[in-house]
Amino acid sequence: MGITLCKGCGYGNNNDDDTRNKCWCCCCYCYYYYYCCCCSWCSCWCCSSCNNNHPQNSVGLDPAKKMRILLLGLAGSGKTEIAHQLIKAKRHDYQTTNGAHSYNIIHIDTMCSLTEIGGNEDMQKIWHHYYVSTMALIYCFDMSATYKELKRSFCMLNKILKNCYMSGKPVLLVATKSDLVDESIQWYDIENTFQVEAMARTYGSTIKLCYSNVNTEMTRVERNFNLNLMAGIDWLFKYLLDNFSIIQMRLNCDRNMQNWELQRDKLIAEGKINLCKYQRFPKLSSRQKIWRYTHKHLKRRSSSLIRPHTAPTASFVRTLSTSPH
Ligand SMILES: Nc1nc2c(ncn2[C@@H]2O[C@H](COP(=O)(O)OP(=O)(O)OP(=O)(O)O)[C@@H](O)[C@H]2O)c(=O)[nH]1
Ligand SMILES: [Mg+2]
């Protein structure tokens, strides 16, 4: 197979071994239905041979049902390694990820855009820009790390789920480098120490735990055999497919809310609205009392994170039965 250019960004790929982004076109049945990881975020779907945009291709993939998953974790936790395993491609550079990198995956007849963002402290500052449009989170942590590092990693997970655009979304928690730990460390130690179950209940997110051991000396066949991780991915895709319309509605609502907040901040900055209007009333007036009461009430509600009664019930899924040892 020669060089195939992506219609979205013109980026070419001449690696015969790398079949990750190629699939059948439904119009001309050529083998050039090609898209690349650079422009996947903008949902570019065009056949490079017949120049058509397809609402659906021959294998029944519906671009409208494209999933967006965020891959996060501290620096060196093995995110890029997992992403390469999921797209079944060989990893050539072992450098730290700077910025965001998007990968296209087709799994259970569903298209998915997996976005990895670097885990160093500078990159952590841009994570929140991706929360609104993501449907689920894959969070990696290094199982062979010290207690201090593990604590830092779980604090970060707590911080992510605390964000109003992330809480309630499904999370696949991946313990990487499980080949480097001995039998003295088990999942339930980590689960109890960092109170994963309590975290899932507090933020209303379903959390699934799984292992990954992507040893660099593994052959490609062995890498594909990372069953525990694949079972976790299966679970995540099934969860998203089962709840697709609900999650889509949530994303739309979040986007509207974000736009509204931006608009409000802009109006405040321009001095067109004033949030302190209540101060015009005398201190003990009934108007002030009402304002103070509602303000306190709202504050209490947001700090205790009460979920609306219409929200889907929160459930917690336990660790997959297979152990890394
Ligand atoms: N033995 C072993 N090594 C692993 C595993 N996963 C990742 N590594 C190694 O850990 C190092 C860091 O992995 P990366 O995937 O680059 O980490 P990252 O999370 O993408 O890091 P940043 O991009 O800096 O945020 C690499 O040298 C990997 O080969 C694993 O399961 N087992
Ligand atoms: Mg990386």
Annotated domain spans of the chain: 67-215+225-244
Q: Is 74 annotated as a binding residue?
A: yes
Q: Which ligand is nearest to the CA of 181?
A: 1
Range scoring the smallest mean pLDDT among 79-83, 121-125, 288-292:
288-292
Residue 78 Cα: closest atom of ligand 1:
15
Whole-number Cα distances in Å, 272 to 30, 257, 258, 268: 57, 20, 19, 6
Residue 75 labelled as part of a binding site: yes
Task: Report the run of H or E that residue 22 belongs to, with start and end.
Answer: strand 22-23
What are the helix (H) ranges across the chain? 79-86, 121-124, 147-162, 187-193, 196-203, 220-224, 227-242, 244-269, 286-304
Which of 70, 80, 121, 123 for a ligand 1 pocket mutation test, highest count of atoms within 8 Å of Cβ? 80
Q: Are strands 171-176 and 136-142 parallel, antiparallel or unpaired?
A: parallel
CA distances from 123 to 95, 100, 137, 139, 141 (A): 14, 9, 16, 15, 16
Give the pTM.
Answer: 0.69
Mean pLDDT for 174-181 is: 82
Atom of ligand 1 nearest to the CA of 81: 15
Alpha carbon of residue 51 to chain centroid: 31
Q: Name the residue at shortest CA distance from atom 11 of ligand 1.
A: 76
The amino acid at residue 190 is I
Q: Which atom of ligand 1 is nearest to the CA of 118?
A: 25
Closest ligand (CA of 156): 1
> What per-residue confidence (pLDDT) applies to 73?
93
Provide the mean pLDDT of the chain: 71
Please write the tens of the pLDDT for every residue from 118-141: 989 888 998 998 999 899 999 999
Long-range contacts: 184-190, Cβ < 8 Å, 24+? Answer: 185/143, 186/323, 187/319, 187/323, 188/319, 190/143, 190/150
How far is residue 302's CA from residue 318's CA, in Å, rounded to a whole number?
A: 28
Is residue 158 pLDDT above 80, yes or no? yes
| Distance separating alpha carbons of residues 22 and 24, to the nearest angstrom | 7
Q: Which ligand is nearest to the CA of 78?
A: 1
Q: Is 106 exposed, middle or buried (0-12, 13-18, 19+ CB in 10 A)?
A: middle
Q: Please tell me whether 76 is known to bind a ligand.
A: yes
Burial code (b: 16+ CB inside 10 Å, e: under 16) for 120-148 equals eeebbeebeebbbbbbbbbbbbbbebeee
CA 122/CA 118 separation, integer angstroms? 9
pLDDT computed for residue 153 by the predictor: 93
Superfamily of structural domain 67-215+225-244: P-loop containing nucleotide triphosphate hydrolases (3.40.50.300)
Is 97 within any annotated ligand binding site?
yes
- What the block records as the tokens of 30 is 């050529």
Using alpha carbons only, what angle is made at residue 231 by residues 229 and 235, rounded to the nearest 5 degrees?
115
Token pair recorded at residue 64: 């409208």
Q: Which of 216, 225, 228 to mutate to test the pocket of ligand 1 (most atoms within 8 A of CB)?
A: 216
Beta strands (DSSP E) in 55-152 are: 67-73, 100-107, 110-117, 136-142
Q: Answer positive or negative: Cα dihedral of 54, 60, 66, 69.
A: negative
Q: Which two tokens stand for residue 237?
A: 């895709």
CA-closest residue to ligand 1 atom 29: 216
Assign 156 a pLDDT band (cuts: 50, 70, 90): very high
Residues facing residue 12 across a β-bridge: 5
Average pLDDT, integer, range 71-88: 89
- Ligand 2 centroid from CA 79, angstroms: 5
Residues with CB under 6 A from ligand 1: 73, 75-81, 94, 96-97, 118-120, 176-177, 179-180, 212-216
Task: Give the pLDDT confidence of 214-235 residue by residue, as tens digits.
Answer: 765 555 545 555 667 888 898 8
Contact 100, 69 (CB under 8 A): no
Torsion sign (Cα): 190, 194, 197, 203: negative
Ligand that lies nearest to the alpha carbon of residue 95, given by its number in the listed order: 1
State residue 325's pLDDT score: 43
10 carries a ligand binding annotation? no
Q: Do 243 and 314 meet the contact criterion of CB atoms below 8 Å apart? A: no
